[in-house]
Amino acid sequence: MSSSTALPDFDSLSNLFIQIGALGSPSELHGTLCGFLTAGRRWSTDDWLKQSAQLLDIDVPESAQSKTALAQLYDVTLRQLEEGVFEFTLIVPDDDYAVAQRSQALGSWCYGFLHGYGMGGGQVDENLDEDARESIQDLSRFTQLSDMALEEQESDEADLMELLEYVRVVAIMLFTACNQQEQPVNPNRTLH
Protein backbone atom coordinates (compact mmCIF):
# COMPACT_ATOMS: atom_id res chain seq x y z
CA MET A 1 0.00 0.00 0.00
CA SER A 2 1.10 3.56 -0.49
CA SER A 3 2.07 5.74 2.41
CA SER A 4 -0.03 8.83 3.16
CA THR A 5 -0.12 11.05 6.18
CA ALA A 6 -3.71 12.19 6.70
CA LEU A 7 -6.79 10.12 7.41
CA PRO A 8 -9.65 11.16 5.11
CA ASP A 9 -12.39 12.81 7.11
CA PHE A 10 -16.09 11.94 7.19
CA ASP A 11 -17.14 14.75 4.82
CA SER A 12 -14.51 14.03 2.16
CA LEU A 13 -15.39 10.33 2.20
CA SER A 14 -19.11 11.15 2.08
CA ASN A 15 -18.52 13.32 -0.99
CA LEU A 16 -16.48 10.57 -2.61
CA PHE A 17 -19.20 8.02 -1.88
CA ILE A 18 -21.75 10.29 -3.58
CA GLN A 19 -19.49 10.68 -6.64
CA ILE A 20 -18.99 6.94 -7.05
CA GLY A 21 -22.60 6.01 -6.23
CA ALA A 22 -21.69 4.12 -3.09
CA LEU A 23 -24.25 2.86 -0.66
CA GLY A 24 -23.03 2.92 2.88
CA SER A 25 -21.52 5.11 5.48
CA PRO A 26 -17.90 6.26 5.80
CA SER A 27 -18.19 5.40 9.50
CA GLU A 28 -19.32 1.85 8.83
CA LEU A 29 -16.62 1.27 6.19
CA HIS A 30 -13.94 2.58 8.55
CA GLY A 31 -15.29 0.46 11.39
CA THR A 32 -15.23 -2.62 9.14
CA LEU A 33 -11.64 -1.92 8.15
CA CYS A 34 -10.62 -1.42 11.80
CA GLY A 35 -12.33 -4.64 12.87
CA PHE A 36 -10.66 -6.64 10.11
CA LEU A 37 -7.23 -5.24 10.97
CA THR A 38 -7.89 -5.85 14.66
CA ALA A 39 -8.57 -9.52 13.93
CA GLY A 40 -4.98 -9.67 12.69
CA ARG A 41 -5.69 -9.77 8.98
CA ARG A 42 -4.37 -7.55 6.19
CA TRP A 43 -5.41 -6.88 2.58
CA SER A 44 -3.27 -6.10 -0.45
CA THR A 45 -4.21 -2.86 -2.23
CA ASP A 46 -6.18 -4.72 -4.91
CA ASP A 47 -7.97 -6.89 -2.36
CA TRP A 48 -8.86 -3.84 -0.25
CA LEU A 49 -10.27 -2.03 -3.29
CA LYS A 50 -12.35 -5.10 -4.19
CA GLN A 51 -13.54 -5.55 -0.61
CA SER A 52 -14.44 -1.89 -0.13
CA ALA A 53 -16.32 -1.93 -3.45
CA GLN A 54 -18.28 -4.96 -2.28
CA LEU A 55 -19.04 -3.30 1.07
CA LEU A 56 -20.18 -0.12 -0.69
CA ASP A 57 -22.18 -2.03 -3.35
CA ILE A 58 -20.27 -0.51 -6.27
CA ASP A 59 -17.93 -1.69 -9.02
CA VAL A 60 -14.26 -1.63 -8.12
CA PRO A 61 -13.26 2.04 -8.31
CA GLU A 62 -11.30 2.89 -11.42
CA SER A 63 -10.63 6.59 -10.96
CA ALA A 64 -7.28 7.57 -9.51
CA GLN A 65 -9.03 9.80 -6.95
CA SER A 66 -11.16 6.94 -5.62
CA LYS A 67 -8.27 4.48 -5.51
CA THR A 68 -6.04 7.00 -3.77
CA ALA A 69 -8.65 7.93 -1.17
CA LEU A 70 -9.43 4.29 -0.34
CA ALA A 71 -5.75 3.30 -0.24
CA GLN A 72 -5.07 6.29 2.01
CA LEU A 73 -7.92 5.22 4.28
CA TYR A 74 -6.37 1.77 4.62
CA ASP A 75 -2.77 2.92 5.05
CA VAL A 76 -3.41 5.63 7.60
CA THR A 77 -5.88 3.52 9.58
CA LEU A 78 -3.37 0.68 9.89
CA ARG A 79 -0.60 3.07 10.86
CA GLN A 80 -2.79 4.77 13.49
CA LEU A 81 -3.81 1.45 14.99
CA GLU A 82 -0.20 0.33 15.16
CA GLU A 83 0.93 3.60 16.72
CA GLY A 84 -1.71 3.50 19.42
CA VAL A 85 -4.23 5.53 21.29
CA PHE A 86 -2.92 9.05 20.71
CA GLU A 87 -2.86 8.70 16.94
CA PHE A 88 -6.04 6.71 16.31
CA THR A 89 -9.12 8.56 15.05
CA LEU A 90 -12.63 7.31 14.32
CA ILE A 91 -14.23 8.47 11.10
CA VAL A 92 -17.46 9.99 12.32
CA PRO A 93 -19.06 13.37 11.62
CA ASP A 94 -17.54 16.33 13.43
CA ASP A 95 -19.16 18.70 15.92
CA ASP A 96 -20.95 20.62 13.13
CA TYR A 97 -23.41 17.73 12.85
CA ALA A 98 -26.32 17.14 15.22
CA VAL A 99 -25.76 14.84 18.19
CA ALA A 100 -28.30 12.37 16.75
CA GLN A 101 -26.39 12.14 13.44
CA ARG A 102 -23.07 11.68 15.23
CA SER A 103 -24.46 9.02 17.55
CA GLN A 104 -25.96 7.18 14.57
CA ALA A 105 -22.56 7.27 12.84
CA LEU A 106 -20.89 5.92 15.99
CA GLY A 107 -23.43 3.09 16.04
CA SER A 108 -22.61 2.39 12.37
CA TRP A 109 -18.88 2.44 13.14
CA CYS A 110 -19.38 -0.12 15.93
CA TYR A 111 -21.52 -2.30 13.67
CA GLY A 112 -18.84 -2.14 10.99
CA PHE A 113 -16.11 -2.97 13.51
CA LEU A 114 -17.90 -6.10 14.67
CA HIS A 115 -18.60 -7.11 11.06
CA GLY A 116 -14.96 -6.62 10.07
CA TYR A 117 -13.71 -8.41 13.18
CA GLY A 118 -15.87 -11.40 12.27
CA MET A 119 -14.78 -11.27 8.61
CA GLY A 120 -11.19 -11.37 9.77
CA GLY A 121 -11.80 -14.43 11.89
CA GLY A 122 -11.68 -12.57 15.20
CA GLN A 123 -12.86 -14.66 18.11
CA VAL A 124 -14.52 -13.83 21.39
CA ASP A 125 -13.18 -16.70 23.44
CA GLU A 126 -10.77 -17.54 26.24
CA ASN A 127 -7.86 -16.26 24.13
CA LEU A 128 -9.10 -12.76 24.90
CA ASP A 129 -9.01 -11.50 28.45
CA GLU A 130 -12.22 -10.62 30.24
CA ASP A 131 -11.83 -6.86 29.61
CA ALA A 132 -11.50 -7.46 25.87
CA ARG A 133 -14.56 -9.73 25.79
CA GLU A 134 -16.59 -7.16 27.74
CA SER A 135 -15.42 -4.41 25.39
CA ILE A 136 -16.69 -6.37 22.39
CA GLN A 137 -20.04 -6.75 24.16
CA ASP A 138 -20.08 -2.98 24.74
CA LEU A 139 -19.47 -2.35 21.03
CA SER A 140 -22.35 -4.67 20.27
CA ARG A 141 -24.63 -2.63 22.53
CA PHE A 142 -23.42 0.60 20.91
CA THR A 143 -24.68 -0.56 17.50
CA GLN A 144 -28.10 0.39 18.88
CA LEU A 145 -27.11 4.07 19.07
CA SER A 146 -28.67 4.58 15.66
CA ASP A 147 -32.05 3.77 17.19
CA MET A 148 -31.75 6.23 20.08
CA ALA A 149 -33.35 9.63 19.89
CA LEU A 150 -30.80 12.07 21.24
CA GLU A 151 -31.43 15.75 21.47
CA GLU A 152 -29.09 18.71 21.41
CA GLN A 153 -28.59 18.87 25.14
CA GLU A 154 -25.27 19.41 26.84
CA SER A 155 -25.62 16.11 28.71
CA ASP A 156 -26.17 14.21 25.43
CA GLU A 157 -23.15 15.96 23.89
CA ALA A 158 -20.99 15.05 26.89
CA ASP A 159 -22.27 11.45 26.86
CA LEU A 160 -21.51 11.13 23.15
CA MET A 161 -18.00 12.50 23.63
CA GLU A 162 -17.38 9.94 26.39
CA LEU A 163 -18.66 7.13 24.17
CA LEU A 164 -16.47 8.25 21.26
CA GLU A 165 -13.40 8.25 23.49
CA TYR A 166 -14.31 4.90 25.00
CA VAL A 167 -14.76 3.29 21.57
CA ARG A 168 -11.48 4.77 20.37
CA VAL A 169 -9.59 3.34 23.35
CA VAL A 170 -11.37 -0.03 23.06
CA ALA A 171 -10.39 -0.31 19.39
CA ILE A 172 -6.72 0.23 20.25
CA MET A 173 -6.89 -2.17 23.21
CA LEU A 174 -8.45 -4.89 21.05
CA PHE A 175 -5.99 -4.26 18.20
CA THR A 176 -3.09 -4.57 20.62
CA ALA A 177 -4.50 -7.71 22.23
CA CYS A 178 -5.10 -9.42 18.89
CA ASN A 179 -1.94 -8.27 17.10
CA GLN A 180 0.77 -9.02 19.62
CA GLN A 181 3.95 -10.03 17.89
CA GLU A 182 5.83 -12.84 19.56
CA GLN A 183 9.28 -11.62 20.55
CA PRO A 184 12.05 -13.86 19.24
CA VAL A 185 13.92 -15.67 21.96
CA ASN A 186 17.67 -15.10 22.02
CA PRO A 187 19.21 -18.30 23.47
CA ASN A 188 22.56 -16.53 24.00
CA ARG A 189 21.08 -13.80 26.19
CA THR A 190 21.84 -14.07 29.87
CA LEU A 191 20.19 -12.27 32.73
CA HIS A 192 22.41 -10.69 35.38
* Mean pLDDT for the stretch of residues 131-153: 78
Mean pLDDT across the chain, nearest whole number? 87
> Is pLDDT larger for residue 124 or for residue 29?
29
CB-count burial class (<10 Å; 0-12, 13-18, 19+) for 149: exposed
Q: Is the pLDDT of residue 185 over 60?
A: no
Query: What pLDDT is stored for residue 61 in this prediction?
Result: 84
Query: What pLDDT is stored for residue 23 in this prediction?
Result: 86
Look up the pTM and report it.
0.87
Query: What pLDDT is stored for residue 176 in this prediction?
Result: 93
